[in-house]
Amino acid sequence: MKHYFIVIDTNVLVSGLISRNQTSPPVGILKYLLAERGVIIPLYNDEIIKEYENVLKREKFNIEHKLVDDVIDRIKTIGISCERIETKEEFKDANDIVFYEVALSKDDSYLVTGNIKHFPKVDFVVTPGEMMEIIRNEEN
């Protein structure tokens, strides 16, 4: 089975963890992340991990802290810590740059985000739905 190097934007994790729709693309991404098969290999750095911790533990999301810790531990266990590759691209939100620059660090990687308009229009920036389609097409 093929594996995919993916930088997961925080909004995808939030959506996957709070969604009641178990067939939604963010839930699918989360299921692949947590599965034993290793389809998704997350790319991250310390800044991304800190953002995951800060955002996912916000009271408004009401996500159990142990679940957040388990997801982050999984990312760090099966993932690859990467250096940022500086870009000259312009971003509306400076917090998004780190996700883009980490995705640049590994050839054939994807940045999966629910906020596609926040990023440059390039082939490796995809929505959760697009990523699920890429994975499913490869499996068939």
The CATH number assigned to the domain holding 97 equals 3.40.50.1010
Q: Which helix (H) or strand (E) holds 118?
A: none
pLDDT value for 64:
97
C-alpha span between 116 and 109 (Å, rounded): 16
pTM: 0.95
Structural domain boundaries, residue 111: 4-139
pLDDT value for 109:
98
pLDDT value for 119:
96
pLDDT value for 140:
63
Q: How many domains does the chain have?
A: 1
Q: Is 54 helix (H, G, I), strand (E, B) or coil?
A: helix
| CB contact set of 93 (below 8 Å; sequence gap of 6+) | 118
pLDDT in tens, the chain (140 residues): 789 999 999 999 999 999 999 999 999 999 999 998 889 999 999 999 999 999 999 999 999 999 999 999 999 999 999 999 999 998 988 999 999 999 999 999 999 999 999 999 999 999 999 999 999 998 66
